[in-house]
Amino acid sequence: MSRTVLISGGNRGIGLAVARSFADAGDKVAVTYRTGAPPPGLFGVACDVTEEESVKRAVADVEAQYGPVEVLVANAGITRDGLLPMMSEKDFRDVIDTNVLGAFRLAKHATGGMLRKRWGRLVFMSSVMGTLGSPGQTNYAASKSALVGLARSLAWELGARKITSNVVTPGLIETDMIEHITDGRRAELIGNTPLRRTGTADEVAAVVRFLASDAASFVTGAVVPVSGGIGMGH
């Protein structure tokens, strides 16, 4: 069955791979983009997740095009790294505003149709760093663990309406986001990854697709690692 799927930050990286994967399966896919242009062949809506009006408008545009959102993938995220003495309050706030409040705003405005339909899928893009912790990433790790509490609360709030709410925790995935990581840190992270390599955006997309599918109808409140094993047990 073709579903209406909204992916935030779907113009590049993991979000784009997720979007293409749903589109290839025949779903009606909308992506948000903040900078640049929407990716070719996908319906794009301009959206900055740090602004509630922008999120509201984006959801309304998607609904006008495809009908109510049935699957939301809250993927947009940023890093603003720095060790504690150098970490400014602004950098901390910016990361929380995008990664946590952005997901909250999307969930708030995209679930109306799911509630009416009594069916829906929420998938939140967290990170293994949310539970592992990561030097220089107090803001990012805090934001990514916050998504677990958010998603699990929504699992309780929305479960009676057959709306599931799950979290994906990628490990090190080859996208623009990890370009600035030093060679030493990269080697350290790969060394702590049982599969001894980085992952691809497509490997994350496959798990998101599963969580959004009918096959995952009894899966909610789950935190699913796609990490090559780094962070297992947390």
Which residues are near ligand NDP by CB under 6 A?
A: 8-9, 11-15, 32-35, 47-50, 75-78, 98, 125, 127, 170, 172-173, 175-178
> Residue 25 or residue 178: which is nearer to ligand NDP going by CB?
178
Distance linking the first and last C-alpha atoms of the chain: 35
Of the candidates 140, 171, 220, 231, the residue annotated as catalytic is 140
Single-letter amino acid code for the residue at 27 = D
Check if 140 is active-site: yes
- Give one DSSP letter per residue of 157-216, joined into a string: HHGGGTEEEEEEEE-SB-SGGGTTS-HHHHHHHHHTSTT-S-B-HHHHHHHHHHHHSGGG
C-alpha pair distances (Å), 218 with each of 4, 159, 212: 20, 10, 11
Task: Give the shortest CB-161-to-ligand NDP separation in angstroms.
Answer: 26
> Residue 200 or residue 213: which is nearer to ligand NDP going by CB?
200
Report DSSP state, residue 67: S
> Residue 68 or residue 228: which is nearer to ligand NDP going by CB?
228
Task: Give the shortest CB-144-to-ligand NDP separation in angstroms.
Answer: 7
> Residue 75 or residue 164: which is nearer to ligand NDP going by CB?
75
19 and 10 in contact (C-beta within 8 Å)?
yes
Report DSSP state, residue 39: P
> Residue 119 or residue 165: which is nearer to ligand NDP going by CB?
165
Task: Give the shortest CB-218-to-ligand NDP separation in angstroms.
Answer: 25
What is the arrangement of strands in the sheet containing 28-33, beginning at the earlier edge strand?
43-46, 28-33, 4-7, 71-74, 120-125, 163-170, 223-226
Task: Give the shortest CB-9-to-ligand NDP separation in angstroms.
Answer: 3
Nearest to 78 by CA among 18, 155, 15: 15
Bridge partners for 45 per DSSP: 32
Task: Give the shortest CB-86-to-ligand NDP separation in angstroms.
Answer: 20
Q: So which residues are the catalytic ones?
A: 140
